[in-house]
Amino acid sequence: MYQKHLIFGLLIVLVFSCGKEENFIDPALQPYIERFLEEANKRGHTFSLDDVQAFLLPQVADEGIRICGLGYAPKFGDKVRRIDIDQLCWEFSNDAEREILVFHELGHALLDRTHNDWKLPNGRNRSIMFAGEFCDIYASYQDCQLELRDYYIDELFNEGILIPEWSKRQKIDRVFFTDDFSLGRLGWTSSTPSPTASTQLDTTQFFSPPAALQLSQTSSQKMTHTWSRTIALFPIKICSNITISTNIKTQSLGDGQLDILISYPSTNGEGITATCEHQFTVEETVATQKDFQYFEFTLRCVPGGKKDIEVQFALTTSQKSAVYLDDISMRLWD
């Protein structure tokens, strides 16, 4: 490992020593730099990469502390416009996080921007140029949060824009869906019909009477069965939060698990649509074997507009087992 790093370091020295390589850009970073230029063009900015360098390095440090990236520019006393990205951070980042990291460092290197640690009224970062600690810049947006991405990239190229409406706190706290199985209807359908999987209302195992939803497998082979339901949510403002809660009891689940998957659409101002997906896993414990346990999962900063939210339960087990769910609830808050 040391030898590889040494060779890599010598290559970097050679690159810096050779005038014709002054605009060296690591191939792994190239797509994100091109994406930066594309977003700049949309907003009336044009940049040349003739004097830009971008390196993916084994380690990046600032004053002896390892960090995910550094940006250099003449404004800050540097002789070059360059970004350095830490390889370990890169490997453990998803596409949105890589984009944010490269855009942040290019904000220093090409836009001459300094850090901006101001917060929006709802507590989110004011800017993608947020410094913070522990990779807080990654909290700006995720892959599916297209509306948030639009704002943060607008702000990157125009530091003085007004704060968005969605960032202003509102007093919202209402339950928009509940299912306590008191009406005697299932409402949950199997997405993978199988003779070894069943769903029914159980009137002997419940958290609150008269029944709970039972999801079960009768096979001794490892299999995954799924049950789903679509829940309508009327128009909401961008960046509201949703909490889903339920009481769960398990029976002979063993080393299996119940995954709760939630998905909904996100659309930006250009009509481009993505799907937001969240997954939460519940495993069997001594407590869940004995009695119903309360579980709560939160989806933060949900995209605005009308939503059809799909909630899916996926039961994975290699033995005869069952999971009971009762008092399923979804709450919208801000």
Q: How would DSSP label each residue in 99-141?
A: HHHHHHHHHHHTT-------B-TTSSBS-TT---STTGGGGS-
Adjacent-strand bridge partners of 24? none
Q: Which helix (H) or strand (E) holds 96?
A: helix 95-109
Tokens coding 261: 């998957």
Virtual torsion, Cα 194, 196, 199, 204, nearest 10 deg? 170
In DSSP terms, 238 is beta-bridged to none
Average pLDDT, the chain: 89
Residue 323 has a CB neighbour count (10 Å cut-off) of 24
Is residue 327 classed as helix, strand or coil in its secondary structure? strand
The DSSP symbol for 22 reads T
Compute the distance between CA of residue 122 and CA of residue 23 in angstroms, rounded to an integer.
40
Rounded CA-CA distance 298/236 in Å is 16
Whole-number Cα distances in Å, 241 to 230, 244, 302: 18, 10, 6
Contact criterion met (CB below 8 Å) for 69 and 86: yes
Q: How confident is the model at residue 14 (pLDDT cuts 50, 70, 90)?
A: very low
Residue 7 has pLDDT above 60, yes or no: no
Residue 312's φ and ψ, nearest 5 degrees, are: -130, 135
pLDDT in the model for residue 132: 66
pTM across the whole model: 0.80
pLDDT in tens, 78-105: 999 999 999 999 999 999 999 999 999 9
Q: CA-to-CA distance for 209 and 162, rounded, in angstroms? A: 51
Determine the pLDDT at residue 12: 39
Structure tokens at 57: 């390095």
Q: At 181, list the tokens.
A: 């199985």
Q: Is 236 helix (H, G, I), strand (E, B) or coil?
A: strand
The full set of domains in the chain, from first to last, is 2-167 (3.40.390), 173-333 (2.60.120.260)
Contact indicator for 110, 33 with CB cutoff of 8 Å: no
Contact by Cβ (8 Å): 122, 169: yes
Least confident range from 41-55, 159-173, 308-322: namely 159-173
Q: Which tokens in the block code for residue 35?
A: 């994406």
Question: Is 262 in contact with 299 (CB distance < 8 Å)?
Answer: yes
Q: What whole-number distance in Å separates Cα of residue 276 and Cα of residue 199?
A: 27
Dump pLDDT digits (tens) for 218-250. Answer: 999 999 999 999 999 988 888 889 999 999 999
Q: 211 burial class (0-12, 13-18, 19+ CB within 10 angstroms)? A: buried
pLDDT tens per residue across span 102-158: 999 999 999 999 999 999 998 899 999 998 665 577 888 988 899 899 999 999 999
Residue 329 pLDDT: 97
